[in-house]
Structures are given as C-alpha cells and as structure tokens.
Amino acid sequence: MTEENVIKEASDMMVKGVEHTLSEFSKLHTGKASPSMVENIQVEVYGSNMHLREVAAVTTPDPRTIQIQPWDKTVVTDIEKSIQKANLGFNPAVNGSVIRIPIPELSRERREELTKVARTMAENGHVSVRHARHNALELLKNMQKNKEISEDDQKRAEKEIQNNTDNKNAEIDQLLRHKEKELMTL
C-alpha cells in the first residue's frame, strides 16, 4: 500500500461520514413535509419486512402533507399500522387507497430540541471523520516504521490528511448551520 492509497482511503471514509451526517439531517422533521421522513419505515407485507418506498409511492402534494399511494391496495392497513408503530408523532388518515399524513406545525420548544439532536448528529459526523484520520495516521506511522515510505512522504501525507479532515469538518459545520436555520425558521 502506498501513501496515496492511504490518503484516498481516508478521504473516502471522510466523505462517507459527511454523507451519513447529511442523510441523518434529512430525517429530522422540520415542519415541512418530506418523503424521507417516512420512506424508510419498515412495513410488514407479503410475509417479510420492506421499506415503505418499496411498496408505495411517497409524495408531498403540499408543504404540510405527505401522501402515500400503495401499489397494491391490499396493503393500505399494513402501511397505516407501520406508520403508527414507527412512533414519529404522525396520525395517518386513510382515504380509500391513499394515505395522507398531515404534518403539524412545530412548537418553539420542539424546534430547539431538534436543533440539539442535529448538533449531536453533526458531532457523530465529526467523530467519524476524526476516526478516519486517526486510522490513516496510524497506517502511515507503521509504513514509515517498516521503511515502506520515507519520513518526508509520511509528513506530506499527514499534512494532506489533516487538510482533508479540516475541510470535511468545516463541511459538516456548514450543513449543521443550514439545518439549524431550517429548523428555527418559523
């Protein structure tokens, strides 16, 4: 393994950390309807568990409503039960073969709670980025100790990894600021 491979592997892990943080942020309820709020709910249909998005079309016809249109009308009650069991604070309304979920307005206190949750998610993202950096630096140290790379190459690679770490942490911070603004805007 070369130092370029170590740098690339660390960078890839850092990108995954940022992407995971962004994915976690998308699950936070901001008062605006979003399909991502429900599409990963597990629904027990046909004798197995499937994601909601695999058994129905999930849309947002307006900013305060999530609409679920099952491809098979016989699973409407299964979907309704799964949404209630997911304990997301939603009250689905069945209208024929369509399920509508009205999204309630968030209170100030709830918005502040969600901001704290977002900060925790961001910190988890920072931890995964630092973990990738730590692993890469350990690899480089061992490679230099085993005379696989020179000390100069090790220092150069460490500097590049630290720059990547700083950039990814700044990216997570920017995503957090955007999410906090989104959550606190009434």
Q: Are strands 93-95 and 48-51 parallel, antiparallel or unpaired?
A: unpaired
Residues 112 and 167 in one domain: yes
> Which of the listed ranges 53-57, 91-95, 123-127 does the model predict with the highest average pLDDT?
123-127
Residue among 178, 133, 177, 173 nearest 157 (CA): 133
> How many CB atoms are closer than 10 A to CB 34?
17
Alpha carbon distance 143, 149 (integer Å) = 6
Q: Give the predicted TM-score (pTM) of the model.
A: 0.70
pLDDT score for 134: 97
Residue 164, judged by CB atoms within 10 A of its CB (0-12, 13-18, 19+), counts as buried
Last residue of a domain, one of 102, 129, 149: 102
Domain that holds residue 62: 35-102
Which CATH number belongs to the domain containing residue 39 in this structure? 3.30.1360.40
Whether residue 65 is found in the same domain as residue 130? no
Q: How far apart are CA 3 and CA 31, in angstroms?
A: 46
Of all residues in the chain, the percent with pLDDT exceeding 70 is 98
Give Cβ neighbours of residue 181 (< 8 Å, ≥ 6 apart).
Answer: none
Residues 15 and 44 in one domain: no
Same domain assignment for residues 44 and 19: no
Q: Kindly state the percentage of the chain with pLDDT values over 90.
A: 57
Where residue 169 sits, what CATH number does that domain have? 1.10.132.20
Count of domains in the chain? 2
Indicate the average pLDDT of the chain: 90
Considering the domain architecture, whether residues 122 and 74 belong to the same structural domain is answered as no
| One domain, residues 167 and 117 | yes
Strand order in the sheet with 65-70: 56-62, 65-70, 98-102, 93-95
- The two tokens of residue 30 are 């901001």
Q: What share of the chain is helix, strand, coil (3-state, %, to 5)?
A: 60, 15, 20
User: What is residue 186's predicted lDDT score, i.e. its pLDDT?
Assistant: 59
Q: Which of 71, 102, 133 corresponds to the end of one domain?
A: 102
